[in-house]
Amino acid sequence: MAERPGGHTSGRPQHGPMASGGLKLVGSARGRVAMAGLVAAGLLLIWSIIAAVETDPIPADQEQTSARPASSDAASLLAAAEAEMARGPENTDWKRVTIAARAALAEDPPTGRALGYYGLGLAGTGESDQALAAMRLAADRSLRDVIPHTWLYSHDLQSGDFGSALSHADVIIRSQPELRYIFYDSMRQLTALPGGLNALATALAADPPWRSEFLLRTLDQPSDLDGPTALFAQLQESRSPPLNREVAPLLTALVDAGRFQDALLIWLRILPPDQFASLDYLSNGDFRFPLSGLPFDWTFTPIPGAEISIAATIDGEDALTVQFFRGRVPFRNVTKLLVLPPGRYIFTGRERADDLQTERGMAWKIACAGPDGETLATTQPLKGRTGWQDFETTFTVPAGGCQAQWLRLELDARVALEEDVAGGAVWYDDLAIRRTGTEPRT
């Protein structure tokens, strides 16, 4: 006797409502795992939708001995089909569902959900071709009937027609947004399949209203960022590339995972042409381009007791300025991520202090990225009152263990007491990093 989904056996037809054809083979091990996950997710999807129908099982003392319920009006027939399915996938008599739904259609052809239930019954009794025809007809009749669209989503996933599957998912997510997370968790597995990845990129290039939320959902598994990274790369080449706010979580996830080169390539693709043309080791050191807030751009993190901004100097140039107010301010809030290859460098710029009253002053620090990143350079602290003046410091990026570096503007305090500030401001402009000298030895 064949085993039903869920491990139970029964004398009833063993096909189940999800039966819909064979699976296409996927070459890579990762792809095969993803495909198996998609199939399982498709089965769960269908039953979760069925279970969402608020019906009560028919009491045992009211069960009909005949397959067709006694009542002949369409609503009662439909209720009988729903009640039968409410027994659960292991206990449903799919023949009864088919007969009840067909009778409901005969009484009132436009009856809502009856055609979808009829398709489920046909699938449950192994009549796959007829089930597919019924589900397609039901889906064409209604964009709000989730059962045929969910069944067709699962069917198309299993047959490898990912574009069609995503079309059905789009219909359901738009019409029944409360179901969207169930579909997101299934859809994100498509990033592990070449065909699925292409279909996802095509669907997302149409900029559906759920795109940003879904892209964020693809990052729920930080240990597997290959699929999301490839998806973003494809989407960046589309007619509707991702927005900065959509890219930011991926860049952060890649940086946190230590995949700095992957993050850098994604960031480079979204740079405006004029900024890309002026790219150097530091990039935007004169603050003339709008800030995106992404890791490889200047990042300003708000902090009580200080205000960070880009403002015009007397000469009309844009410059970074930090205005301090009285209080204790553990300032480390201007950062930029660098990916410098091993070598010797010189960091230069212009700076000005405007009555900055603190124990040690402000300084730029360059350190290897990582939890215990080695500090490579620290500029001479700036405080008091000065005119515009040049500064420079040299540093070496070692050949190993320093794939990326953080450039950070800090209040150069060794203890909490040295974080006290009585007011003032600092200004910085024309920051640059140039390579000099020879490669360091390993």
Q: For residue range 334-391, what is the model confidence (pLDDT) as tens digits?
A: 999 999 999 999 999 999 999 999 989 999 999 999 888 899 999 999 999 999 999 9
Predicted confidence at residue 16, as pLDDT, reads 46
Predicted confidence at residue 368, as pLDDT, reads 96
Q: Which two structure tokens, joined as six digits, stand for 393?
A: 């410091």
Residue 12 has pLDDT above 70, yes or no: no
Name all domains of the chain by residue range, CATH numbers in brackets: 1-160 (1.25.40), 299-436 (2.60.120.260)
Which residues are CB-contacts of 373 (< 8 A; sequence separation ≥ 6)?
Answer: 367, 402, 405, 406
What is the signed CA dihedral for 374, 376, 379, 380, rounded to 10 degrees?
70
CA distances from 373 to 296, 344, 401 (A): 18, 18, 9
Predicted confidence at residue 338, as pLDDT, reads 96
Tell me the whole-structure pTM to 2 decimals.
0.73
Helix (H), strand (E), coil (C) string for 174-213: HHCHHHHHHHHHHHHHHHHCHHHHHHHHHHHHCCCCCHHH
Amino acid at 154: S
Nearest 5°: phi and psi at 241?
-65, 155
Give the whole-number percent of the chain exceeding pLDDT 70: 80
Closest Cα partner for 427 from 337, 348, 336, 319? 319
More confident residue, 206 or 439: 206
CA angle 435, 316, 363 (to 5 degrees): 45
Least confident of 42-46, 138-142, 183-187, 393-397: 42-46
CA pair distance 108, 2, nearest whole angstrom: 36
Q: Which two structure tokens, joined as six digits, stand for 294?
A: 């992404």
CA pair distance 352, 363, nearest whole angstrom: 12
Predicted confidence at residue 83, as pLDDT, reads 74
Q: What is the pLDDT of residues 239-267, one digit of tens each?
A: 999 999 999 999 999 999 999 999 999 99
More confident residue, 19 or 355: 355
Q: 109: pLDDT confidence band, cut at 50, 70 and 90? A: low
Q: 47: pLDDT confidence band, cut at 50, 70 and 90? A: low
Residue 81 has pLDDT above 80, yes or no: no
CA angle 289, 294, 297 (to 5 degrees): 40
Q: What is the pLDDT of residues 299-317, one digit of tens each?
A: 999 999 999 999 998 888 8
- Residues facing residue 406 across a β-bridge: 337, 367
Least confident of 49-58, 108-117, 198-207: 49-58
